[in-house]
Amino acid sequence: AVSGSGFPFSSSSYELKAPQIGSFRLSERAVNFSRRRCSVRPVNAEPKRSDSVIPFAATIVAPEVVEKVEVEVEVEDYEQLAKELENASPLEIMDRALEQFGNDIAIAFSGAEDVALIEYAHLTGRPFRVFSLDTGRLNPETYQFFDAVEKHYGIRIEYMFPDAVEVQGLVRSKGLFSFYEDGHQECCRVRKVRPLRRALKGLRAWITGQRKDQSPGTRSEIPVVQVDPVFEGLDGGSGSLVKWNPVANVQGQDIWNFLRAMNVPVNSLHSQGYVSIGCEPCTRAVLPGQHEREGRWWWEDAKAKECGLHKGNIKDENGNGNGNGALHANGTTATVPDIFNTQNLVTLSRPGIENLARLENRKEPWIVVLYAPWCPFCQAMEESYVELADKLAGSGVKVGKFRADGEHKEYAQQELQLGSFPTILFFPKYNSRPIKYPTEKRDVDSLMAFVNALR
């Protein structure tokens, strides 16, 4: 069964005549083959084995000598193509991808706003294929959305499932929610990455809904087309798969304007505050002012918010703004500008935060943010935290900041309850143990309520 654009099969058959050796003749029934050609090949198609059905005795016939002809294949320069298409519309990029790869390319559909990709493909008028990873832990609303999309476009989505034995082993050994304790990577590897790997082995190119504004820490440099740095395609080996990102340069709001204008079906979870949608246990709605990726794996660092499907986005910690610096084009590391800058806010050094944490009788209470300047979630709360510092000036409550990434991260995790950036702590006047701010509402009124309840 094949899905994608729903185009019918065309079939033809041929008969391979068996050689005759003396009085011995192979059964014609054993050498009848049928060959079927289709306009859309399954996404998980693997190169079939060509095991011979001819008995060994038949191999004594002298083989036909075929002269080998070397064909020079022109290799596309995708870096140059990405530059040429940098200012192209998503529709133009989609049309170029479908034209170039035909049946050997498919759209990766997650059940979120990347339905825009299907709409763009539909608008080109070309045949297209869609596949999705069913992890077994999606929201009911996502499954309903899949069904609505199939009916709207008259297609069949090609679903890829995780290996049942692998899932069984993971759940039996570590439980249903081990990712809350030791990170989401292992579960994602079993339920998403390996099924994706199988899917891509049947393709020469794939189309994703990645955008630069989705995750500034890991997706800010996505080109519209690239040689996939992680996965292999049908031919195998490095460079055998091309990755297209038609909406890389499009803002999230513009995607939504497009979906509304085209009256495209959308996941009902979006109306409940969900923006980025994944598996049910690892996805939640975001609050006003929060970045969309804060709804994914919220218990982990901002730079870890990739499941592994696009791990080629993640570079060295000290090399692309995900760690302590940003990488220039010439390979040198530049310092990320600091944040939370105001005269009413104290910058704590490592000895300073250690002394503050050790004091049992402080002269005044403190509120301190543990942050990393490259973290988009820290950047998003900069205005409210600076306003908090200005409001608390002269009130008897000190407001501080401690940069807890890099060499200080391990200490902050072990001694200061750092789980993800930002972490906000209140150090009471007569208590040595700091109290962790328990919510992700980081507006100034919520922060003030927290301080007023404890000081």
Strand partners, 425: 368, 436
Largest CA distance in the chain: 109
Half-sphere exposure for 386 (CA within 13 Å, toward CB) = 12
Residues 187, 188, 282, 375: which is the catalytic one? 375
Phi, psi of 196 (to 5 degrees): -65, -40
Residue 61 has a CB neighbour count (10 Å cut-off) of 11
378 catalytically annotated: yes
Q: CA-to-CA distance for 420 and 408, rounded, in angstroms?
A: 13
Residues with active-site annotation = 375, 378
